[in-house]
Structure 1
Amino acid sequence: MSDSLITKRAIAEALKQVCREKPFDKISISNITSVWGLNRQTFYYHFQDKYELLSWIYYHENFAKIAEDITLRNWDQKIYELLLNMKKEKAFYMNTIKEQEHTFESYLFEMAKALFTEAIVSLDEKKKLTKEERDFDAEFFAYGICGIIVDWAEKGMKMEPRLVAERLKSLARAAERIAYLRGQAEL
């Protein structure tokens, strides 16, 4: 592991620690760097600002790992892993999603949309749906998943991650059946 990656991870951990005590919008770069005794120049060498750091954490600690080998068969397990990670760092995610939900949500949305697009294309065997219809349907389901996960986090992550993932999978199966029937219907 490179020194740069080690430093980035240390800075990320520092932000998580500070987020346990302060709202994200009240956190300064000095608050972050003081955790490990780093200077501000070290922070700015690696990140432009705390928002870039936050985006880096979301991507590298969640979405890069999930997207690595996600498939239509294992996406619910990957969502479960995401939810477990979020619950493990509950204070951090509850604090930062409220402040910067669009950063988190945009990563989640793009991943979910790609999966649903793939599913819809595979279910539309007769190629009856236009690209616009497929995109619309995929975005509908992606927004649904994003909304449920963000809402779950904002409400305190009370439901167990396994149950959230199972319910999302159940809804997706129902959606698959609808998409299949829609693709099979004679117009």
Structure 2
Amino acid sequence: MSVTIQKKIATVFKALMVDTPFKQISVTLIMTTAGIRRQTFYDYFPDKYALLTWIYDQEIGEYVADHLTYPHWTIILEQLLTYFEDNRTFYQNAITINGQNSFETHFNHHLRQLVQIIINDLTQLHHLTLSPTYQQFLLDYLSGAIVAYTASWLRTDQPQSIQQVSAALQITLTDTINGLLLRTGHLDTKKEYEVG
């Protein structure tokens, strides 16, 4: 099997999704456009849903994993938004797909790595001990909120800039974290938690 062919199939599929609804894209159309015989598709993917999942995992998953070594998670967040902006039309079409292949499901899965880093940074910085139940809640809540907001931003025809969205998300996360610190008695009002 060739990674080059696999990537070519994915590239053609993404290009088709810019102008063609997902439901109207067939394996035949993908492979005809790619200039590769139809049967080759099945050497790599069982169907177009698997191809879509592969794109999510390759592009979003690897993007998050490759950038987790950045000095601060806010940089990863802004870079992710830049990636989505660069692929906005594809994702606007992808968002319409529901079920196990939905954008939100896959983005949430990968975003949880980043949110876990945020929670770890918070607990280490302030020497907090959070119960596993509450840590799980924070992970679910923050991941879900960022995914829902990103999906809404992608659907918008006249979206806010990446800088505006990134700043709004960072402020919201800061307020959430400072609320937690205040409730647990860990917030020094002279030195509040800052995300940047």
Q: Same fold (TM over 0.5)?
A: yes
Change (3 A) 1:179 1:70: farther
Match of 1:98, SS state, is: coil
On the 8 A contact 1:152/1:158 being kept in 2, the answer is: yes
2:120 equivalent in structure 1: 118
The normalised TM-score by structure 2 is 0.81
How many Å apart are 1:39 and its aligned residue? Answer: 1.7
Measure the CA separation in 1 of the matches of 2:139 and 2:67: 20
Gaps of 5+ in 2: 187-196
How many Å apart are 1:72 and its aligned residue? Answer: 8.4
On the 8 A contact 1:58/1:104 being kept in 2, the answer is: yes
- Which has a greater percent of helix? 1
Change (3 A) 1:53 1:59: same
On the 8 A contact 2:17/2:93 being kept in 1, the answer is: yes
Measure the CA separation in 2 of the matches of 1:51 and 1:64: 19
2:109 equivalent in structure 1: 107
Change (3 A) 1:112 1:157: farther
Sequence identity (%): 24
Query: Is 1:75–2:76 an aligned residue pair?
Result: no
How many Å apart are 1:8 and its aligned residue? Answer: 1.3
Measure the CA separation in 1 of the matches of 2:38 and 2:137: 45
Query: Is 1:168–2:169 an aligned residue pair?
Result: yes
Q: Give the aligned residue type for 2:91.
A: Y
Measure the CA separation in 2 of the matches of 1:73 and 1:166: 18
Match of 2:19, SS state, is: coil
1:6 equivalent in structure 2: 4
Q: Give the aligned residue type for 1:52.
A: A
Query: Is 1:140–2:141 an aligned residue pair?
Result: yes
How many Å apart are 1:44 and its aligned residue? Answer: 0.9
Which runs of at least 4 in structure 1 moved beyond 4 Å after TM superposition?
A: none
Measure the CA separation in 2 of the matches of 1:121 and 1:175: 14
Question: RMSD in angstroms over aligned alpha carbons?
Answer: 2.3
2:189 equivalent in structure 1: none
How many Å apart are 1:116 and its aligned residue? Answer: 3.8
Q: Give the aligned residue type for 1:152.
A: W
Q: Give the aligned residue type for 2:107.
A: E
How many Å apart are 1:170 and its aligned residue? Answer: 1.6
- RCO higher in 1 or 2 (8 Å CA, sep ≥ 6)? 1
Gaps of 5+ in 1: none
On the 8 A contact 1:120/1:134 being kept in 2, the answer is: no
Structural mapping, 1:49-60, within 5 Å? 49-60=47-58
On the 8 A contact 1:97/1:104 being kept in 2, the answer is: no
Q: Give the aligned residue type for 1:163.
A: Q
On the 8 A contact 1:55/1:103 being kept in 2, the answer is: no
2:193 equivalent in structure 1: none
Measure the CA separation in 1 of the matches of 2:158 and 2:106: 16
Measure the CA separation in 2 of the matches of 1:62 and 1:126: 30
